[in-house]
Structure 1
Amino acid sequence: MEVLLSALNASFVHSSLAIRYLRSYCEDEFKIEISEYTINQHSDDIAAEIYKANPDVLGFSCYIWNIDKTLDIIKILKKVKPELTIILGGPEVSYNPVKLMEAYAEIDYIIYSEGEYSFKELLTSLKYNKPFSNVKGLVYRQENKIIKNEPQPVIDDLDIIPSPYNQIGGLENKIAYFEASRGCPFNCQYCLSSTLSSVRNFSLKRVKTELLRLINAKVKQVKFVDRTFNCNSKRTWEIFKFLLDNKPDDHEINFHFEIAADLLSNEMIEWLKQVPIGYFQFEIGVQSTKSATLDIIQRKMDFNRVKEVVNELLEAENIHLHLDLIAGLPREDYERFKESFNDVYQLKPHKLQLGFLKLLQGSGLRKNAEEYGYLFTERPPYEVLANNDISYDQILNLKMVEEVLETFGNAHYFDHSLEFIYQNFYDSYFELYYDLASFWEEGEYYRYSHKLTFLYQVLQKFYQQHCQAKQKLFNEVLKFDYLLGRRRVNNLPDFLTRYRIENYKTRFRDFTNNPKEIKKYFVELNQLSSRQLRKEIQIETFAYDIIEAIKEPTKELKKGQTNILFNYHNKEGLFNKAQFKKVEI
């Protein structure tokens, strides 16, 4: 019996943890292959590849982002290979599996509980023609009926599950998903974790062994899927220390954790400041700063403590901080959501993700949708369109705000320019992004993808239309941002002004031929030859003291040329930007 497990990932760099768990748990008795695709591939192309693989049994791992395409694929496969046995599992098919099987005759079986035990028992029943009635967590067809067996109890001793990474091929330069635990200590009503059991942990010995295996496999990123990674401080500390002790020297890798910032102790925060730049990433779910809303969704959070922790971690400039907000939560209207946005944006996280509530099947908010007047899409991802407190028009406004936030704010190519605009012309960050979103929509920029250089010009046009004063100074700040995040450029785009000092080429060559002069600014550049140096640095002239302009954006500055040396050889920080200093040439 040839078994193929498949998953449609969000993009090529992602990987499926679920199908690797199932393979590892069953491979002592069954030959199982895995194949992964993306939701961006055509259904008929994926179906063709699976058909050519000629499995007897096909399993799919199903989530809100891939269920529709998965169903398309199995429809094709059942037409051309009706004898193929199709098994679905995962969160998106677990809440109402009987109804789904009634709607899709192509589905032979659904596993709706924790999958390892049930999947292996099902394969055993298929291979040896045993009754399906004994397989807990299974939904199956019997004559003209659909039978749902009792749930499979959760696995208490997680270490009995073999490692999903015993076979590790194909993960180099990809994101590997990782569990140190299952379950969640909290009960957030928008999340499916609220329907699961309490936290169960893999042993630390097991966790360390698997992490070392992933480090040695040179994966791009290890993303922990633990719902609240730091709910157990002692375990958290030990895993953090292990990762720091085993940081590789021969390749880049980082580790992403979802944490509750208010649970971090001051001692741990101090320790975290020694972590190498970019090695850890923290995702912190704020969701809302309105207490009444947090109470309704049963989200426990001390936002004042979150602010303290975020500010402390940001000072160290070594850990990427990603903070989340959810629009469309109960009792948070449009005006109050603006406050949540400003509360979080003012912390200056490295990324503010503005997400939109999804009423997941089985979640508490989905069950109480009528109480809050929710309108939402019938098909996955069940995204909210409106509720009693926020209209569809307002949701659409926030959608456009989210787009420009991603394009300009979270990209970090325009940091000084955006701050200059805010400091001089706005009282709130939300209003800045709202105006930018309106400009973006009016210009129909949202219809197409754009090169980075063009986005600088878009921001310049926005400034000319909405701000007007200090235009020449802003153009210099924009030019500074343009040069800061790039490699050396021979020519500036036409919309940015280049100033050249007299005999620049000769003076630049003399400067790069003088090690003592170079050492005054960047000692580490002395190791480069003059020829190499000229490829790694750039000296650009600004019409104002640009360092003062970015330090104090509201300060009135007189014109006066300043030369800035951009060092692209030794970029720094989480966003790999050029170092810079004033220079005499």
Structure 2
Amino acid sequence: MPAGKNNVCLVQVNYQYGNNVFLPHSVGLVQAYCKTIPEIEHNFEFLDFVYLRDDPDTVARDLDSPKIVGISCYLWNWEWSKALAKSVKTHHPECLVVLGGPQVPARPENFFYDHPYADLLVHYEGEVPFSEILLEFLKEQPDYRSVQGVSVRLEGNHCSLPTFRDTMRDLDAIPSPYLTGSFDYLLDEPYGFHATQETHRGCPYSCTFCDWGSAVFTKVRPYSDQRLEAELEWFGENKIELLYNCDANYGLLPRDLKLTKNLVATKERLGYPKQFRAAYAKNSNMKVFEIGKLLNDADMSKGVTLSFQSMDQNTLEVIKRSNIKIENFEELVQLYHQNDIPTYTEIIMGLPGETYESFVAGIEKLLDAGQHDGLNIYVCIVLLNSEMGDPAYIEKHGIKTVRTPALLQHSSSSQDPITECYDIVIETNCMSQSDFKRVFLFSWAVQAFHSLGLTQYLALFLHYQYGYSYKEFYQRLLKYAEDRPDTFLGRQFTRTVEGVEKAVKGGHWGVVEPRFGDIIWPIEEATFLNVACDKDSFYSAISKFMGGLVADNGWSTDETLLSQLLDYQKEMVRDPYAPERINLEVDYNFHEYFLSVLFGTEGRLEKRPSSLVLTPDSCYEGDLELFAKEVVWYGRKGGKFRHGTVTNSLASRA
């Protein structure tokens, strides 16, 4: 450290996925802005970023005489960040500990009583307040209450509440940490780096469950095109594998299509970034479709999210959200399908205003509209600074939550020294805890059996041939499994019931199956993997279920048709033991029929002898870990759970 300079350490940790880690973009912005101020450059030395989720006490002990430590806090690192702050105060008691980021409470009145190791809280955007904290630090008697947007720990751990600060209008006043070389020294580390990029700040929507960096219902402020294009060049030249866009609504601005074209051109020229992820504009439109097509054609994206969160009008009013019309959604789904672009629809269970009946009806609407493969249903996390996290909102809607370990799907199950936790809604004044469990079970059935393809063709067949609703199909399947606990299907049901019972009492939402590796799986994916390894047992139960369903409803279905439909359904599901070629002789045009149905066009099921050849993308020869990773972890988005290469020719029959 140069003589007389004060050491500053900036911290932003994320989880490591294999050998891949994220560059600490947020604190990079803070540092880059601070370095534009000569007085800070002259008086402070910035230590290396802390970005790996190592033991917090070791991290704190190893810091080189820090005078100020700034920690960027998120939902996924909040407990770790507080543990680090406490250890910093233990090992460096004179150090000024500053917490910032989206997880810092906007209602901090009692925060310092519980967390006396923290000195300051920075609310909302952090670049300017942190720079002013550094400047105030240089004074003989600093008074941090003069810094707008900062809460201060006072004597007795009382809190000086923050004064309001306007957001920055000119975001280009914050230099890019990529372009100023802030991260260059990290590129020699033995990791594959992922990067985040924001093209604008702000969000025009006001969804009550959301807290996008406390930017909900704020004016959208863009960075300049020149800056963003220069960053894309940096990502390409420095071989960034994954670029994660952190806008609230990518595709909202007219220029986003041009930016996407530049991104794709960068990959074509330099080979990187290889993958791109984004939260797309809420009310999807043709611009988002064009963006999705560009990325899909460049093999840079696993698809586009067409989110709803809820299909119930009362619930949408309660959470202050509006959706595109279902007719427009249906047209979009068909358009994406016709261009071979995967789509995903997100639904949240347990939202205030939702009932069991309205939730199930909403799932029926989405399936009716053609969203069969990409339905992702999540529990409702109450974010600390969202409107839903406000005590008055919680009381008004009778929200009850349980604190559970965070579901970090596909991460290692090995014990992290610090457990992150989420507050999950398990009851509202419209949905009892009992009904929440029913919603969870129905969601499990739809995702595991329909969206992951295990019974999708069977449900489609009954729906299009007899008008049988999807909700009736899966509610009946759940009852069938519940009544037969000693069967393979019944054991999957029982395990899910036990899982949700533990979760609503504070247990983990995820599942570990040792034979598929040291990985945490969402329950529906664990079910798929278990079925894929024992298809005979599963489809034996499903055959009896289908036979009973047909008989109970008085449908006159040819026994040969039903038997061959079950064979087709079973063989189309990939498994870890499949040979290089699967031959299937059937008397009906099942494959053409279901392709027509899934693509939203009219199809006719005809008695037309067919010889189907199913060619797996890969043969796993019983390697369960590799199968689980490639087909479910990497392949769920993209429909890898079923065979994609199927040839069909008329068979010669007497």
Structures share fold, TM-score greater than 0.5: yes
Aligned residues: 522
SS in 2 for 1:287: coil
Cα deviation code 1:389-439 (max 9, x no counterpart) = 1111222333345556666666x5xx3x43223235674445555646964
Deviation at 1:456, TM superposition (A): 1.0
Change in CA separation of 1:566 and 1:91 when aligned onto 2, cut-off 3 Å: closer
Verify: 1:465 aligned to 2:470, yes or no.
no
Change in CA separation of 1:20 and 1:432 when aligned onto 2, cut-off 3 Å: farther
8 Å contact kept, 1:549–1:555:
no
Q: Matched residues in 2 for 1:230 and 1:164: separation?
A: 24
Deviation at 1:156, TM superposition (A): 0.5
Cα deviation code 1:496-529 (max 9, x no counterpart) = xxxxxxxxxxxxxxxxxxxxxxxxxxxxxxxxxx
Q: Matched residues in 2 for 1:370 and 1:540: separation?
A: 58
Verify: 1:134 aligned to 2:171, yes or no.
no
Instruction: Structure 1: state its 5+ residue gaps.
Output: 493-537
Aligned equivalent of 1:441, options 493, 511, 515: 493
8 Å contact kept, 1:215–1:248:
no
8 Å contact kept, 2:194–2:240:
yes
8 Å contact kept, 2:232–2:266:
no
SS in 1 for 2:260: helix
8 Å contact kept, 2:403–2:423:
yes
SS in 1 for 2:267: coil
Q: Matched residues in 2 for 1:382 and 1:567: separation?
A: 40
Aligned residue for 1:398?
439
Aligned residue for 2:598?
none
Verify: 1:23 aligned to 2:64, yes or no.
no
Q: Matched residues in 2 for 1:472 and 1:457: separation?
A: 21
Q: 2:306 corresponds to which letter in structure 1?
A: I
8 Å contact kept, 2:613–2:646:
no
Deviation at 1:246, TM superposition (A): 2.6
SS in 2 for 1:482: coil
Q: 1:86 corresponds to which letter in structure 2?
A: V
Aligned equivalent of 2:205, options 182, 186, 207: 186
Aligned residue for 1:373?
398
Aligned residue for 1:46?
56
Q: Matched residues in 1 for 2:529 and 2:333: separation?
A: 32
- Spell out the pairing of 1:27-106 with structure 2 (5 A cutoff): 27=35, 29=41, 30-38=45-53, 45-56=55-66, 57-106=68-117
- Spell out the pairing of 1:556-571 with structure 2 (5 A cutoff): 563-564=613-614
- Spell out the pairing of 1:465-484 with structure 2 (5 A cutoff): 465-468=541-544, 469=547, 470=562, 474-475=566-567, 477-482=569-574
Deviation at 1:118, TM superposition (A): 0.7
Change in CA separation of 1:139 and 1:58 when aligned onto 2, cut-off 3 Å: same
8 Å contact kept, 2:243–2:276:
yes
SS in 1 for 2:308: strand
Instruction: Structure 2: state its 5+ residue gaps.
Output: 1-5, 405-420, 483-489, 500-510, 517-527, 548-561, 596-603, 620-630
Q: Matched residues in 2 for 1:69 and 1:247: separation?
A: 35
Q: Matched residues in 2 for 1:73 and 1:137: separation?
A: 23
8 Å contact kept, 2:352–2:399:
no
Q: Matched residues in 2 for 1:77 and 1:335: separation?
A: 51
Aligned residue for 1:548?
590
Deviation at 1:213, TM superposition (A): 1.6
Cα deviation code 1:105-132 (max 9, x no counterpart) = 1111111131001111112322454432
Q: Matched residues in 1 for 2:582 and 2:262: separation?
A: 44
Change in CA separation of 1:162 and 1:545 when aligned onto 2, cut-off 3 Å: farther
SS in 1 for 2:121: strand
Identity value in percent:
20
Q: 1:231 corresponds to which letter in structure 2?
A: L
Deviation at 1:349, TM superposition (A): 6.0
Q: Matched residues in 1 for 2:32 and 2:439: separation?
A: 43
8 Å contact kept, 1:108–1:141:
yes
Q: 1:213 corresponds to which letter in structure 2?
A: W
Q: Matched residues in 2 for 1:111 and 1:565: separation?
A: 56
Aligned residue for 1:308?
331
Q: 1:207 corresponds to which letter in structure 2?
A: L
Change in CA separation of 1:402 and 1:49 when aligned onto 2, cut-off 3 Å: farther
Cα deviation code 1:215-265 (max 9, x no counterpart) = 332223222221122332x22222222223333363562222322364524
Change in CA separation of 1:311 and 1:548 when aligned onto 2, cut-off 3 Å: closer
8 Å contact kept, 1:256–1:283:
no
8 Å contact kept, 2:56–2:87:
no
SS in 2 for 1:230: coil
Verify: 1:388 aligned to 2:429, yes or no.
yes
Change in CA separation of 1:69 and 1:408 when aligned onto 2, cut-off 3 Å: farther
8 Å contact kept, 1:229–1:259:
yes
* Comparing 205-214 and 573-582, the one that deviates more: 573-582
8 Å contact kept, 1:222–1:255:
yes
8 Å contact kept, 2:109–2:161:
yes
SS in 2 for 1:368: helix
Verify: 1:279 aligned to 2:300, yes or no.
yes
Aligned residue for 2:120?
109
8 Å contact kept, 1:180–1:202:
yes
Aligned residue for 1:517?
none
Q: Matched residues in 2 for 1:407 and 1:109: separation?
A: 46
Change in CA separation of 1:558 and 1:272 when aligned onto 2, cut-off 3 Å: closer
Aligned residue for 1:4?
9
Q: Matched residues in 2 for 1:138 and 1:35: separation?
A: 23
RMSD across aligned C-alpha pairs, in angstroms?
Answer: 3.7
